[in-house]
Amino acid sequence: MSLVRLNIKGISYSQTQNGAYALLLSEINGKRQLPIVIGAFEAQSIAIALEKEIKPPRPLTHDLFKTFADRFSINVKQVIIHKLVDGIFYSSLICERDKIEEIIDARTSDAIALALRFDAPIFTYINILEKAGIQLKPGKSSSIFDAKLTDKEETTGGSQSGTGKIEFTSFSINQLNRLLEEAVKNEDYEKAARIRDEISKR
């Protein structure tokens, strides 16, 4: 069965499941996109891997796995989303050590977080994309985080839009950099990603 390569399009807060995020994967050379519901921790881990300039003060679980694998010469060659049952995606890590390949079962969110750290390609089968793929309308937001804020985040300052999101447009670059350092120190990577987006716009 034919494999289709996917790219990470973005992550947004899931409007259907409280505390969950929607990871959006997009097919290369195609218009279909695959939405996958993931947890907050995995969403933060994926966002950190995408935002190269955000460095957590201590290694996350997926960073630890990468370091462990490097020490023992294990490489993740690719990730395959190979099954969809009752709305749950199943994935495999294709690993290699001493030219011997092993297939390891993994949650899709973990598999993608590791794929980013190993620069490994992500694939799915065409029948899964045909079954669960969607086509978003042009102009749809695909920012790394398009999330609702928690009460804690709403007390940190900045103007607030009608949707409950804090706008960072009124802050100076120096203030944004200080807020970014504080967010990373507090391991608030969701907020850090939004601040990073604002700095990049400047």
Query: What is the pLDDT, as a whole number, of residue 3?
Result: 94
pTM as predicted: 0.69
The pLDDT of residue 31 is above 90: no
Tens of pLDDT, residue by residue over 59-77, are 899 999 999 999 999 999 9
For the chain, the average pLDDT equals: 80
CB count in 10 Å sphere of residue 21 = 26
Tens of pLDDT, residue by residue over 127-150, are 999 999 888 665 544 443 343 322
Q: Which of 193, 174, 173 is nearest to 183 (CA)?
A: 193
List the beta strands (DSSP E) in 51-165.
75-85, 88-97, 100-107, 122-125, 159-160
Q: 156 or 172: whose pLDDT is higher? A: 172
- Quote the CA–CA distance of 5 and 124 in Å, as a whole number: 7
Give the pLDDT band of residue 161 (cuts 50, 70, 90).
very low
Q: 199 or 19: whose pLDDT is higher? A: 199
As a residue count, the chain comes to: 202
Using only the alpha carbons of the chain, give its radius of gyration.
18
Q: How far is CA 38 from CA 28, 111, 137, 168, in A?
A: 22, 11, 23, 26
Q: How many CA atoms lie within 13 A of 104 on its CB side?
A: 18
